[in-house]
Amino acid sequence: MVVAVAVGAAIVSYRHAYELVHTHGEDGVTAFIVPATVDGLIFAAGMVLLSAARRRVRPPALAYVGLSLGIVATLGANVAHGWDHGPIGALVSAWPAVALIIAYELLMKLVRSAGSGPDEPSTEPAAATAPPCPHGVADTVEDAALNAFVHARDCVGEAMSQRQVADRFGLDRKRVGILVRAHDEPASADERTGASGTATQDEPAEVAR
């Protein structure tokens, strides 16, 4: 829509300037070229300003001068074209130039927005990366039960009861409790042996007399 308004306004503004130039003694190629230099100056200055904005550098002062002169010239030409019809005629004749200038500036803003650089990096601290889960593949049913309990409690944050673990892996609940305690608070070698039920008592050696 912005492009359509700009093109339509440019055509009417050019026609007004052409008729004004032709009426005041210019004809042939000159009558076609002079009006183009008026709106063309606005276009050229706008391109320089757009390039400077994209490169984030200060635009040259001549670009502002050219833009200002182009605006004054196109407004003056359109007002002069309708001046013979009084103030109302001058305003009506000047409107295409006003619409052209506004539409062109809006179009340049759209182009600047579309061609702007990447967004500034976020100043918010990045979320901490969770450490990798240390619980690997279990070799026995008891190891699997212990891994499931500790993983749910320490890694997932959804603790399972010892009864749930025992029922899932077909173990005694007390046995699961022993495994968990041995993991959380490593027991002495004698306590581990007693807990596993595999301890054997050595026969007292006979002392030769």
Per-residue pLDDT of the chain (209 residues; tens, 9 = 90+): 777 887 888 888 888 888 888 888 888 888 888 888 888 888 888 888 888 888 888 888 998 898 899 889 988 888 898 888 888 888 888 888 888 888 888 888 887 776 555 545 545 554 455 566 666 677 788 888 888 888 788 777 777 888 888 888 888 888 888 888 888 876 444 444 454 444 444 444 444 44
6 neighbors 96 (Cβ within 8 angstroms)? no
Tokens of 112: 């600047």
Residue 119, domain member (yes or no)? no
Whether residues 172 and 90 fall in one domain: no
Q: Is the same domain home to 30 and 86?
A: yes
7 and 93 within one domain: yes
Residues 110 and 146 occupy one common structural domain: no
Q: Are residues 84 and 180 in the same domain?
A: no
Same domain, 68 and 11: yes
For residue 125, being part of any structural domain is answered with: no
Burial class (CB in 10 A: 0-12, 13-18, 19+), 145: buried
Range of the domain at 13: 2-114
Asked if residue 152 belongs to a domain, the reply is yes
Do 110 and 20 lie in one domain? The reply is: yes
Q: How far apart are CA 104 and CA 115, in angstroms?
A: 16
64 in the same domain as 16: yes
Query: Same structural domain for residues 108 and 145?
Result: no
With contact defined as beta carbons under 8 Å apart, do 141 and 169 qualify?
yes
Q: How far is CA 175 from CA 48, 163, 166, 179, 200, in A?
A: 80, 10, 8, 6, 19
**Domain match, 90 and 145 both:** no
In a domain, 42, yes or no: yes
What pLDDT does 26 receive?
Answer: 81
Q: Is residue 145 part of a domain?
A: yes
With respect to residue 43, please indicate whether it lies within any of the assigned structural domains. yes
Residue 207 lies in a domain: no
Angle separating helix axes 61-82 and 28-55, nearest 10 degrees: 140
- Residue 202 has a pLDDT of 45
Of 98, 114, 130, which residue is a domain's last? 114
167 located within any domain: yes
- pLDDT value of position 191: 47
pLDDT value for 169: 83
Residues 34 and 74 placed together within one structural domain of the fold: yes
95-100 CB contacts, 8 Å cutoff, 24+ apart:
96/8, 96/9, 96/12, 96/13, 96/16, 97/9, 97/13, 97/16, 99/5, 99/6, 99/8, 99/9, 100/6, 100/9, 100/10, 100/13, 100/39, 100/42, 100/74
Number of domains in the chain: 2
Do residues 81 and 8 share a domain?
yes
